[in-house]
């Protein structure tokens, strides 16, 4: 199994509070991703990173920010959580060896279940 951990694994928070989710990898992979999984929507990309301090938006980035200060860590922050951000959040990584990420296998973490009340 790819060495990907996510913390916390479960979190309950209140509307309007900031929340930070952490993804940690031990594979030294270049690309890291944050997805959210919701019933009827599959997985949707929030943000991704292609290197330290290099990030870009996905299709559902509103209300989320990310940071990557080290190769192994990718943080997802909900600046002011809303009930619509209740979801399961998955981190994924890919090697980035080809310089083009879309033909590579992505390896997923175990997920974080977030409930915003």
Are 4 and 24 a contacting pair, CB within 8 Å?
Answer: yes
State both tokens at 113: 């279940």
Fill in the per-residue mask, 24 to 63: x = in contact with other proteins (CB under 8 A), - = not in contact: ----------------xxxxxx----------x--x----
CA-nearest of 31, 113, 111 to 74 is 31
Nearer to other proteins, 63 or 111 (CB): 111
Q: Write down the residue that tokens 């009340």 correspond to.
A: 117
In the complex with other proteins, the residue whose CB is nearer, 62 or 103, is 103
Sites of contact with other proteins (CB under 8 A): 4, 40-45, 56, 59, 90, 92, 101-103, 105-111
């Amino acid at each position: 199994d790819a060495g990907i951990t996510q913390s916390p694994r479960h979190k309950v928070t209140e509307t309007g509070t900031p929340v930070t989710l952490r993804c940690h990898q031990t594979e030294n992979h270049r690309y890291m991703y944050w997805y959210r999984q919701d019933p009827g929507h599959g997985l949707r990309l929030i943000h991704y990173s292609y290197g330290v301090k290099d990030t870009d938006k996905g299709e559902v980035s509103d209300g989320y920010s990310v940071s990557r200060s080290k190769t192994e860590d990718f943080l997802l922050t909900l600046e002011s959580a809303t009930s619509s951000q209740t979801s399961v959040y998955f981190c994924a990584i890919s090697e980035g060896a080809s310089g083009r990420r879309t033909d590579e296998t992505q390896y997923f973490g175990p997920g974080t279940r977030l409930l915003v009340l």
